[in-house]
């Protein structure tokens, strides 16, 4: 079993409004993320100070909700909150920042296939989407890495776990640059929305 952990606790200071609620032609960013992981495992959503506004707008029936009130503690602290709820029978987990709105079930499925079919298996414990030699999201980790993330010191970065043992990483290559696209500012949102609409037109939606 694979457990997706969706990270939506940030204060979105530069965006000026919760990134989880940004609209993509009738769907919020969080709804897109939930759709992307639907069918791969029961998700855990980590919310922060904006949680009441988000929960009023997005149906989270059947979704575990964890809360990180101290958003200044960083993304790793939110990941820890999610990992504290990781089911005992989970073989692996995703960590998936909600501000990557162009990730779909297609990309998630390829990561899951890499994990399940043994592409880069053996010593590989982390499966990362990659485009142009750059890492994207979400990141899929075998369960044993949960202890390493939980042991990070306050203010620590999840990146140190990946960078500390690069030989454990299997890169899943994507032709599409949108696997890298995230949003911090209104300009980023406009860019992602344009790319989202272009992709949906190509897919005939």
Domain ranges in the chain are 2-202
Q: Report whether pLDDT(109) > 50.
A: yes
- Say if residue 74's pLDDT is above 80: no
Contact 28, 68 (CB under 8 A): no
Distance CA 125, CA 93 (A): 11
Distances (CA, A) of 170 to 117, 139, 163, 183: 13, 10, 13, 25
Q: Token pair for residue 28?
A: 């919020």
The owner of tokens 């089911």 is: 87
> Token pair of 34, please?
């939930």
Q: What is the mean pLDDT of residues 123-132?
A: 88
CA pair distance 27, 169, nearest whole angstrom: 33
pLDDT above 90 coverage of the chain, percent: 64
Nearest residue to 47 via CA among 85, 104, 14 = 85
Which residue has better confidence, 16 or 113?
113
Rounded distance, CA 19 to CA 21, Å?
A: 5
- Please report the pLDDT score of residue 120 as a whole number: 46
Range of 42-46, 71-75, 199-203 with top mean pLDDT: 42-46
Fold observed for domain 2-202:
Spore Coat Polysaccharide Biosynthesis Protein SpsA; Chain A (3.90.550)
């Amino acid at each position: 079993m694979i457990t997706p952990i969706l990270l939506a606790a940030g204060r979105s200071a530069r965006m000026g409004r919760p990134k989880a609620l940004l609209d993509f032609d009738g769907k919020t960013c969080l709804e897109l993320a939930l759709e992307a992981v639907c069918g791969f495992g029961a998700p855990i959503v980590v919310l922060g100070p904006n949680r009441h506004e988000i929960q009023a707008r997005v149906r989270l029936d059947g979704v575990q909700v964890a809360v990180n009130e101290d958003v200044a503690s960083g993304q790793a602290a939110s990941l820890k909150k999610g990992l504290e709820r990781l089911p005992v029978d989970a073989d692996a987990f995703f960590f998936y920042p909600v501000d990557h709105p162009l990730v779909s079930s297609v990309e998630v499925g390829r990561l899951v296939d890499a994990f399940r079919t043994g592409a880069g298996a053996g010593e590989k414990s982390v499966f990362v989407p990659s485009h142009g030699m750059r890492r994207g999201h979400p990141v899929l980790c075998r369960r044993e890495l949960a202890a390493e993330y939980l042991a990070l010191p306050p203010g620590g970065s999840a990146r140190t776990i990946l960078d500390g043992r690069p030989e454990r990483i299997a890169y899943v290559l994507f032709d599409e640059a949108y696997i890298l696209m995230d949003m911090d500012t209104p300009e980023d949102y406009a860019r992602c929305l344009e790319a989202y609409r272009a992709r949906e037109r190509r897919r005939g939606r």
